[in-house]
Structures are given as C-alpha cells and as structure tokens.
Amino acid sequence: MQTYLARRLLFLPGLLVGISLISFSLLNLAPGDPAEILLRLQQPGAEAPREAVLALRQALHLDDPLPLRYGRWLYGAVHGDLGTSYRSGKSILHELGQRLPATLLLAVASLAMALALSLPLGIGAAVWRGSPLDGLSRCLGLLGTSVPSYVLALTLMWLLAVKLHWLPAIGYGDPQHLVLPALTLGAGVSASLMRLTRASLLDVLAQDYVRTARAKGVREGTVIGAHALKSALLPVVTVLGMSLGHLLGGAVIVETIFGWPGVGKYAVDAIFLRDYPVIQGFVLYMAVIFLCINLAVDLAYRWLDPRLHFGRQAT
Amino acid sequence: MRGQGAVKASLAHVRGLWNQHALLWLLSRLRLAIRGPLRPFWRDPAAVAGLSLITVVLMAALGSPLLAPHDPTAVNLEQRLLAPNRHFPLGTDHLGRDELSRLLYGARTTLATASVVLATVMAIACTLGTLAGYYGGWRDTVIMSLVDLLLAFPALILAVAIVGTLGPSLTHAMLALATVWWAGYARLIRGMVLAVRQREFIEAARALGASDTRIMLHHVWRNTLGPLMVLATLDMGGIILGIAGLNFLGLGTQPPTPEWGVMLSDGRPFMQSAPRMMLYPGVALCLVVLGFNLLGDGLRDALDPMNQWTYERVE
Amino acid sequence: MQSIAHIFRVYGILAWLVTTFLLALANGSAAEESTLRVGVPLLLQPPDPVIGGFNAVNTGLAETLFKLGRDLQPEPWLATGARRLDGHSWELTLQQGVQFHNGTLMDAAAVKASLERAVAKSPTAKVLLDIARLEVKAPFTLTITTNQPTLLMPAMLAEPTSAIVDATAAQSMGNAFTEMPILTGPFKIERFQQDKEWVVVRHKAYWGPPPLVDRVRFVVLPDNISRVLALQSGDIDIAHYLAPESVATVQGTSHLAVVAAAPVALEYMYLNHRREPWNDARVRAAIALAINREALVQGVMQGQGTVATGPFPSAVLGCNQLQGPPYDPAQAKQLLGQAGYQDNDSDGFVEKEGQMLTMTLVTYRQRPELVPIAEAIQASLKTIGIKVAVRMVENINTALEQRDWDGGLYFSNMATTGDPYWALSQFFLSGGPANRGGFSSPRIDALTHQVGQAADRQAREHLACAASQAIIDEVAVVPLLSPIFNYGVSKHVVGFDAPHPFFLYFLDSKIGKR
C-alpha cells in the first residue's frame, strides 16, 4: 500500500508539468490578441487605438519567445505564484481562491441532493424490481438524462421563482439561493446515479453469497443493508468521484443562468477573452483536483473491497 | 483462349457460389441473433418502444424532403411567430420559417452529426483501446495517461476551449465532442481486451502460430462488439445533448442550418412570449434521447443481464 | 422487507420537513429597503478607472472633467469651463468644493496628478489626451498642452479612463486601490467581487445633489433571460439591456415598465472593398437596395430600433434631408445586370463569366440580434441572386483582419467623444484603424479633414452631414439600424423615466426607490 501511494505521488509533479506545457503551447497557437480584446472591453462598442494595443502587448510581454514565457510561468508556479490575470491585474491564485467556496458549496450541495434523490429510488427499484417504484425511477432517470441543463434551469427558475415565488431567482449568500442551482445540477447527476445504483444492486443481489445469506435465514433488511449495499456502492463511489471532479471544475451553464460566482464561468470567460494566465492556472487547478480525487477514489475502493489489487494486470 | 474463358467462367461460378453462401451465412446469423440472444429484447416492451421511436425519427429524417411542406430556410419576416394554422401546422419561428419543416430537416442534421461524432469516437477508441490493452507496456501507460487527462477535464469546458480557439462551426463542434468523448470508451475497451486476452484460447491460437493482428481482430473484437453496441446506443443521447450544450454558448451549428439544439437555443429569448419555439425541439430531443436510452437498456438487459459492463462518463 | 419500507417512510418524512423548512426560510427573508438592485450583463473589470473606466463611470463612482450631455456635446462636469489658448494649449477651470471619497479636496494639483497617472497607465487615455505638459496656474486652474493641435479637448476629456482619482491615495494604497479606488462620484465603492456583483454606497460629501438611495447593488447576470426572470421575480429592480423579445414580456407585467434610451449605436455591414466585386460601386449599391431595413427593425428587432440611413444615429448627429437607398430589389437586380451579373443557368443565382456571385458574411454571437439579421440578409440577397454563406466567429476583429470575408456585421457605439470627426477618421478615412473594409474615397477624405479643421459647431455638423451623404452614396458600409437600449424597471423605482442616451451615464443622484 505504501509503495503504491509513494509511486503515485512521485508521478504527480511530472504529470503536472506535462499538462501545463501542453496547455501553454496550445493556448499560444490560438488566434486572438488578448491586448486588443482587453482594450475593447474598456469601452464596449468603441475602437481601441492601434498604438494603445501595441503598448499593452509590450506591457504584457506578449511578444517574448514562447519558451521564455513558459519558463517564467513555471518558475512562478513552483513558488506558488500563478501570475496575474490580464483582465483584472490580480493574482490568479487569489481569484481562484475567491471563487472556490462558491463552486465547492454548489458541488457538495448538488451531489448531496443527487444522492438523496437517487440512492433511495435506485435501491427501491432494485429491491422491488418490476413494481411501480421501479417504473418511476426508470422514468425519472431517463427524463433526467434527456433534458439539456439550460432548459431545466430556465424552466425551474420560471416555475419556482417567477410563477410561484417560492424561491429567489438569482443570488448568492443565503441558503435559499442555493436550492435552484443545486437542484438543476443534482437532477442531471442523480439520473445516472439512479440507474447505476439499481443495476449495481441487482447484480450483487444475484450473487451466490447473497443467496446463501438468505438461505441461512438472515433478515432481508440486514442482507441488503449490511452485505449487498457495501459492494453495490463501489461503482457508485467511482462515479461520485468523477462527478465531484467535474463539478469542482465548475458548472458553466448553471453559473451563467443563476449568476453563481463560481470557477466554471471564470474559466470560460478567460477562454473567450484570451486571458492566458487564467486559463493556465485553471488547467493546473483541474489537474491537481483530478489527481487528488483519483487517488481518493482508489483508496476508497481499497478500503471497501480489499480483494482488489493494484498495479499492472498479470499477463 | 478457350482455357482463359474456362477459367473466367469457373471463377464466376465460384464467385456466384460465394455470394450465395455469404448471403445465406449473413441471414442465418441474423436469424440466430434475433431468435437467440436477443429474444429477451423482443419481450421487453420498453426496449421495443425505444426501437420504434428511433425508427420513426429515422424515417422522418430520411424522408424529410418529401414530408416537409416548406423550405426550412425560407425567411419571411412578414409571417414570423405565427401560431399553428392550416398553412403552417406547427407555426413559424422568429424569422417566419416553418417549424415543422425545420423540425424534420433538423432530425437529419441532429442524427447525422451525432452519428459522425459517434463513429469517430468509436474509431479512435477502438484503435487506441485495443493497442493499450493488447500490448500493454509503454503503449498502455502513454495511452491511459492521455485517457486520464481527458476524463479529468470537465467536458464542456474542454469542448468550449477547442471550439473557442478554432472558431465556431459544425465541424469544429464535432471535433471537440469527439475529442472529449473517446476517452471513456478507450478505457472500457482496454478493460475488455485485457479480460479477453487472458482466456486460454488466445494462448492456444498463439501456440498454433497465428499472428498478433489476426488474433486481435478475430477473437478480441468479436467479444467486445456486443458491449460496444450497447454503450454506443446509450451514448447517442449524451452526444446529442452535448451538441445542444455547445449551441447554448453559440459555438456549434452555423445559421441557417436547422438543428434541434440550435432551434432550442434560438427559442430561448422567446421563452415567455412564444414557448412553443422551445417546446418542439425540446420534446423532439427528449424523445430521441429517451428512445436511444430505452433501446440501449433493452439491449443491455438482453445481452448482459449480469451488468458486467460498467461505464464511466457522467454529465 | 418491512425494515426497508420503514426506512423509506422515515426518509419521506425527513424530506418533507427539510423542504418546508427551506420554504419558510425563503418567505421569511426581509427585503433590503433602500438598496437599489441592478442586474447587468457584464461587469468585467475592476472599478479603477484606468483599468475599467467605463464601469467606474457607469456605476456612479467616477467622474471625468467633461461629460457628454444629452445632445452628446461636451458639458462641464468636474471642470467648469475650457478655454483654448492657442493651437496646442487649453486652459481648464475646475469645480470648487469637490471632495474625494476620502475627504481630500480636489484641486488643480490633484487633477494634474490624476491625469498624469491616467496617461501613464491607460493606453487609450494616452492616445486620446495626447498630453505633452500639464501646468498648475492657480489652485483651480490647469493648463494642458498637447503634442498635436486639437480642437476637441473637452470631448477628449470625457474619456472614462481619464476620470479623476486621488493619485496620492493610489500611490499609497498600491494594489488595493484597484478594487477600492478613491474617486469623486455620488457613490463610493463598498464591496467589489469581479463577475459577481459590486455594491456602492452614498458619498455623503458629494459636491452635487445628494443621491436618493443609500446603496446600489450591481448583480452580474449574463444570460438575458435570467435577467428578465430576476426582474419579474422581484430579485432586481432595474435590468440593463432588455433583448427585443423580452420587451413585450416586461411591458405586459403589471409591476414593471420598459424605459428606453434614444439609440446612439449603429448596426451595419462592412463590405470588403479589397475583394472583387465589392469594389464595383454598382454591386454595392445593389446590396444596399436589396436589404429591407424596415422589415429588419420590425421583424428582427420587434420594433426596438430605428432604420439607419446614414452612419450616425440622429441622437448623435441630426442631419436634415439625408437620402438613403429605398428598398427596391428590382432596381438592385438591374444594377447587378449592368455590372455583368446574369442568371444564365436558372439556378436562382447570378454569375459573371461562369463564376457565381457568392458572399461570406461574418457575424458574432456577442450581439445576439446580429445573427437573425444575418439570416434575414442572407434571404434578401438570395432574391437578387447572391449566394450568402453566414459564418459565426468568436472574435470579429480578428476575423475581419484576416481578409477572407466579403461582408461583416458589426455593432458600434457612435457616441464616443460625441464628435463626428472622431468616428469619421476612425471608420471612413483611408487607412483609418476601424476602416476594416479597406474603403478609400478622396472625396470623403477631403470632407473628413474639413470637419477636423472646422472651428464652430454648426460648420462641423454641416460638413459631417455632407460626409454622411457621401458615405451613403458611395456605400462605404451598409448602415442597417440603430438598436434602442431598453431598461426594465420595477414600479418601485423613481427618477428614472428618461435615461441618458449614452448608457455610460446610467447612475446619477436622481434615481431613487420607494
């Protein structure tokens, strides 16, 4: 176990450098001049004088050779300085840090809602297979994966905020502001979680050791709760991990519609505005998150089912 | 001279026999498939419903030049936003174009785009996944690292980055989606290849001297074709929604091509004044995705009742 | 089995409890009475004027020496007057009794320091103000000497990035100044969170009429629909920029109203004069005749705009008797025929020497109405036999620089500096930086220079109108329409019935909340 962990951690810096190098090169191949875009931002619809564009290019070191710029960035990154955003001039680490709580809150709330919706329905559908509950869960699951997220978001906003006045349409700060965005995101995740839980539990319930337990006279509740669920939840854990990773990368559409100040919209804005340092910083952030979550999921697997082993498959 | 003619004649005779034989072989396979492993499929009403839905949509798409009453791109500002009437069975959109015709032609574009993306994804994933699984070693490490990288990144942001830098167009959107989607499949195929590789008859075949490629093509693929088909069917819905998501951000299909995702996002400003503009493509999308999901579920229930083929992409 | 059912029952009760609790929370939230909440689509930059000048003025924080009045002519603001001393020098007299947000008095020395900072940090200010030397003549008198002679100093001093800041405070605060700048406006910054919101509070020692509200909160809602929904649900009081389709919805809601600002922007089509056949005046004239501008305004903009005859909206430059091309497709086809384009193979499109007449029309999504306009133009030009392919691009300026386009739809704010010379020299002068189609006409060049030399306003306007007519006749660009800028306003808001046409000057002291 220790050697496995050590090996994984050893690969980490190399992987991060590789990722950042690829993204840096790709960014600079892309068309679009950040200086010109920035100046046009200052007065929407007005023209940026050519000399002003050239002056800003110089100030931002945009015309320096690529390896030099990458080297400069890497040096800063290693010392914990991700550089400053072209757009605001502020430290990117600081800006990411400002937006992370909002994204974290939304991610956790969405997953909590998704679990709350999907686990009971999925388990119920598996336990009482063929019942109306099964049909309902299949229905909801299919609907949830069939609707684009912005349609769901706008419909919920219109229904719950405008027509019924139950919840505020937009905003951030109080618990009720969290409900609509979390519901939208949670619905999408819960649909697939529901189907996965049902399928996984069905699979486990058909196993021999479950039959044995039943034959021995163990109560059905204990069979399902204590024995079957633990192994059935393995794939659910993987999917949860992946969903968490993606949600921590920000849910762009939901953030745009509900005005939620998260990381996703920050990244997409940076892409459109060619704010290179921000995009670099975001890529690095995502890489770190992914690698951590991957590790956590693998460890969780190990804890849940010691029979699994790691490393190269035996040939 | 006569010898040549005789050779040609006998060749033709053999070819004729071969054609006959091939056709018979194909038919017998089909019959076996329908009667044999797919028998539970035909008994499942949901699965059959899914197949019927898809067939209807497919026929509508193929027959759209005949079925559509008007030219889907004919702009006529005088008759914009008309309610459904005798001349325009579903009404007109904000530029006076017939909604029914746009819906029918949109089926073509939507299905065609999704199919192309899926085919590309399959091609890349099959090649890379098989390479990684069969040979192992450095090929495996490199390909799987790439896969991990792609799976880590939130799909929408990566797609936005690709289309945002290359410029909005349908081809770029398809490219972006294919790039984002192949990773999950590759990992899956690699897993299956690994599993099959360990079976004895591979050893036996190798002992008999068959070449590596032959083994891969024949034995490994024949066993992965089933699960691939199922997952591809299930993923068509996801790809269609992915295109719709890109269209929300204005990065996909170019006007005036009718496409359901574009029609959905065109209808957004009219959400309160003319909600049917969103309703038609929304319901159509829902039904198609639902159909594919039901079909895929049915196939999986029939071919893989033990649910051994788990899948990882969620969003 | 029973235990499972029992678990489900408990779960159901818990879920019901949580929902009720959340709903109670929602209904129990107290409204913030004297805070005006404004929903805006963008708030991309911090309030320091040299970085986000537009935002700083737009949100009532910053003021410039001169502002553009409702007729878009420069008016005194922080300066009371400007006197031209000679070709290169202007003498400015400043407002007295102006206090910065930190209580410091604004005097000529402070203004000098502020302008020097603006010129050092804002490339736009440097180019526009073109300052060679600043001299303090008296406590409230300042002399500006420019490198090039200019007649337009007051108009240039309306540039938002040159807004007056407390430069000493900027120096001592360092980076913190970017988010909490010390300015002179009726409001001062309380809280700033980029892309999310910013909150401004009343500046008690403001030199002008005191603001009616204590606090204004700008909330960023980029999606047009969610901004309207937020207005309808009461979560915001004013919504900036209503899309044309939402206007009817807001008008139909009983507790809301639509307030319109006179249009100062222009939506038009660039033509690439460097490419055949757009350098042929007859083909250009044909295009101008084939587009039904009235239908565009009524159909695409739902009536929320005015037809544009010339390059200047009437609020910016009022010309009498500007003659624009009528909507006449038959005449257009004739002109194409004269230029040698006929439909010989009856496919609906015209050719010349076997080459079909095609056009690549680029547009961009940041201005949503340009996309249906492009589609409508595509259909219009099809009726005279031109095959148009619409291409959406991510960055319109880059695309137009790349030269492989024929037509380009564009949105421009023609009220910048309020003076027609600025727009003429940028867009229509040969080699002008915004002359993206490569248009060149000696007549228009001569007229533009004359406008630049004209000393009095009437002469300038007269000459500018002549230049406008020339632009229309030679089809330098194809003007389409001027979109109306609409605000959605809740009935609780007072003092906001006739907004300034230039939405730069959105927030002033007069807006209040019941």
Q: Is the pLDDT of residue B300 over 80?
A: no
Can you give the C-alpha Rg of chain C in angstroms?
27
How confident is the model at residue C141, as a pLDDT? 93
Q: Where are the beta strands (DSSP E) in C234-312?
A: 238-239, 256-261, 265-271, 305-307
Residues A202 and C454: their CA atoms lie apart, in Å, by: 86
Cβ pair C181, C47 in contact under 8 A:
yes
- Residue partners of A5: CB distance under 8 A and separation at least 6: A295
Q: What is the ipTM of this complex?
A: 0.74
β-bridge partners, C249: none
Question: Which chain C residues touch A49 with a CB distance below 8 Å?
Answer: 123-124, 127-128, 433
CB atoms closer than 10 angstroms to residue A278:
25
Each of the 514 residues of chain C gets a pLDDT tens digit; together they read 455 566 666 666 766 666 666 555 544 444 455 789 999 988 777 889 988 778 899 999 999 999 998 888 889 999 999 999 887 899 999 999 999 999 999 999 999 999 999 998 887 788 888 899 999 999 999 999 999 888 888 888 998 889 999 999 999 998 889 889 999 999 999 988 777 788 999 999 999 999 999 999 999 888 888 899 999 988 999 999 898 888 988 998 989 999 999 899 999 999 999 998 899 999 999 999 999 999 999 989 989 999 999 999 988 888 888 889 999 999 999 999 999 898 888 888 888 888 889 999 999 877 888 989 999 999 999 999 999 998 888 778 878 888 789 999 999 888 877 788 888 988 999 988 888 999 999 999 999 999 888 878 888 889 999 999 999 999 999 999 999 999 999 999 999 988 888 888 888 888 888 8
Q: Distance, in angstroms, between B152 CA and closest chain A CA? A: 6
Question: Which chain B residues touch C379 with a CB distance below 8 Å?
Answer: 73-76, 95
Q: Is the pLDDT of residue B201 over 60?
A: no
- Three-class DSSP category at C388: strand
Residues B261 and B266: their CA atoms lie apart, in Å, by: 9
Query: Using omega within 30 degrees of 0 as the cis cutoff, is the peptide bond preceding C123 cis?
Result: no
Q: Which residue has the tokens 């937009």?
A: A170
Interface test with chain A among C1, C2, C4, by most A beta carbons within 10 Å: C4
Q: Distance, in angstroms, between C255 CA and closest chain B CA? A: 16
Q: Is the pLDDT of residue B131 over 70?
A: yes
Strands C407-413 and C358-364: parallel
Tokens of B153: 């990144």
Q: What is the mean pLDDT of chain A?
A: 79
Tokens of B62: 């193929």
Interface test with chain C among A33, A37, A38, A47, by most C beta carbons within 10 Å: A47
Report the half-sphere exposure of B114 (CA within 13 A, side-chain side): 26
Interface test with chain C among A40, A50, A88, by most C beta carbons within 10 Å: A88
Q: Which residue has the tokens 């922080």?
A: C78
According to DSSP, residue A47 is labeled P
Question: Which chain A residues touch C256 with a CB distance below 8 Å?
Answer: none
* Highest mean pLDDT of the ranges A306-310, B68-72, C83-87, C471-475: C471-475
Residues C322 and C310: their CA atoms lie apart, in Å, by: 7
Q: Distance, in angstroms, between B94 CA and closest chain A CA? A: 19
Across C296-334, b (16+ Cβ under 10 Å) vs e yields bbbbbbbebbbbbbbbbbbbbbebeebeebebebebbbe
Confidence of residue A312 (pLDDT cuts 50, 70, 90): very low
Question: Which chain C residues touch A32 with a CB distance below 8 Å?
Answer: 394-395, 398
How confident is the model at residue A53, as a pLDDT? 81
β-bridge partners, C216: C36, C200
Confidence of residue A110 (pLDDT cuts 50, 70, 90): very high
Q: Which residue has the tokens 């010390």?
A: C182
The shortest CB-CB distance from C193 to any of A44, A127, A261 is to A261
Inter-chain Cβ pairs, chain A and chain C, closer than 8 A: 174
Residues C509 and C391: their CA atoms lie apart, in Å, by: 44
Residues C273 and C435: their CA atoms lie apart, in Å, by: 10
Q: Which of B212, B238, B222 is nearest to B121 (CA)?
A: B238
Q: Which of B295, C6, C15, B46 is nearest to A124 (CA)?
A: C6
Interface test with chain B among C250, C251, C375, C400, by most B beta carbons within 10 Å: C375
In this complex, which chains have at least 3 CB pairs below 8 Å with chain B? A, C
For B85-94, B132-141, C203-212, C401-410, which range has the lowest pLDDT when averaged over its residues? B132-141
H-helix or E-strand containing C37?
A: strand C35-40
- Residue partners of C253: CB distance under 8 A and separation at least 6: C232
- Three-class DSSP category at C324: coil
Question: Which chain B residues touch A147 with a CB distance below 8 Å?
Answer: 282, 285-286
Inter-chain Cβ pairs, chain B and chain C, closer than 8 A: 69
Across C14-38, b (16+ Cβ under 10 Å) vs e yields eeeeeeeeeeeebeeeeeeeeebbb
Residues shown for chain C: 514
Q: What is the pTM of this model?
A: 0.79
Tokens of A195: 């189907």
Averaged pLDDT for residues A28-57 = 73
How buried is B42 (Cβ within 10 angstroms: 0-12 exposed, 13-18 middle, 19+ buried)?
middle
Q: Is the Cβ pair C228, B164 closer than 8 Å?
A: no
Question: Which chain B residues touch A138 with a CB distance below 8 Å?
Answer: 46, 297
Q: Which residue has the tokens 């230029």?
A: C339
User: C374 CB near a chain B CB, below 8 Å?
Assistant: yes
Question: Which chain B residues touch C298 with a CB distance below 8 Å?
Answer: 77
Q: Is the Cβ pair B271, C225 closer than 8 Å?
A: yes
Q: Distance, in angstroms, between B7 CA and closest chain A CA? A: 50
How confident is the model at residue B177, as a pLDDT? 87
Q: Which residue has the higher pLDDT, A121 or A173?
A: A121
- Determine the residue type at C342: Q
In sign, the C-alpha dihedral spanning A235, A237, A149, B148 is negative
**B134 phi, psi to nearest 5 deg:** -75, -45
Q: Distance, in angstroms, between A7 CA and closest chain C CA? A: 40
Residues C35 and C237: their CA atoms lie apart, in Å, by: 9
CB atoms closer than 10 angstroms to residue A22:
12
- Residue partners of B80: CB distance under 8 A and separation at least 6: B92, B93, B94, B95, B96, C299
Confidence of residue A304 (pLDDT cuts 50, 70, 90): low
Tokens of C189: 């910054």
Give me the percent of chain A exceeding a pLDDT of 70: 88
**C80 phi, psi to nearest 5 deg:** -95, -25
The shortest CB-CB distance from C233 to any of A43, A168, A172 is to A168
pLDDT in tens, A249-278: 768 888 888 888 888 888 888 877 778 888
Question: Which chain A residues touch B152 with a CB distance below 8 Å?
Answer: 245, 286-287, 289-291, 294
- Three-class DSSP category at C512: strand
Q: Distance, in angstroms, between A46 CA and closest chain B CA? A: 23
Q: Is the pLDDT of residue B123 over 80?
A: yes
- Residue partners of C345: CB distance under 8 A and separation at least 6: C351
- Determine the residue type at C483: P
Question: Which chain B residues touch C245 with a CB distance below 8 Å?
Answer: 94, 269-270, 273
pLDDT in tens, B205-242: 666 666 655 665 666 666 667 777 777 887 888 888 88
Cα distances (Å, whole numbers) of residue C67 to A295, A309, C150, C159, C264: 59, 73, 18, 8, 15
Question: Which chain A residues touch B289 with a CB distance below 8 Å?
Answer: 145-146
CB atoms closer than 10 angstroms to residue C99:
16
Q: Which of B243, B263, B299, B252 is nearest to B90 (CA)?
A: B263
How confident is the model at residue A306, as a pLDDT? 54
Q: What is the mean pLDDT of chain B?
A: 78
The chain A residue lying nearest C233, using CA atoms, is A162
Q: Which residue has the higher pLDDT, B154 or A76?
A: A76
Q: Where are the beta strands (DSSP E) in C327-476?
A: 351-352, 355-356, 358-364, 387-393, 407-413
In sign, the C-alpha dihedral spanning A295, A298, A304, A307 is negative
Name the region of B180 (left: φ>0; alpha: ψ -120 to 50; beta: rest): alpha
Averaged pLDDT for residues A97-118 = 89
Q: Which of B128, B138, B222 is nearest to B181 (CA)?
A: B128
Interface test with chain C among B75, B93, B163, by most C beta carbons within 10 Å: B75
Tokens of C302: 């739902």
The chain A residue lying nearest C48, using CA atoms, is A88
How confident is the model at residue A314, as a pLDDT? 34
Q: Which residue has the higher pLDDT, A204 or C166?
A: C166
In sign, the C-alpha dihedral spanning B24, B29, B33, B37 is positive
Q: Which long-range contacts (CB under 8 A, 24 or more apart) does A295-301 make?
A: A295/A5, A295/A8, A296/A241, A297/A237, A297/A238, A297/A241, A300/A237, A300/A241, A301/A234, A301/A237, A301/A238
Q: Which residue has the tokens 């927030």?
A: C507
User: C246 CB near a chain B CB, below 8 Å?
Assistant: yes
User: B256 CB near a chain A CB, below 8 Å?
Assistant: no
∠ CA(B98), CA(B102), CA(B107), 5° rounding? 155
Confidence of residue B289 (pLDDT cuts 50, 70, 90): confident
Q: Which of C411, C127, C369 is nearest to C270 (CA)?
A: C411
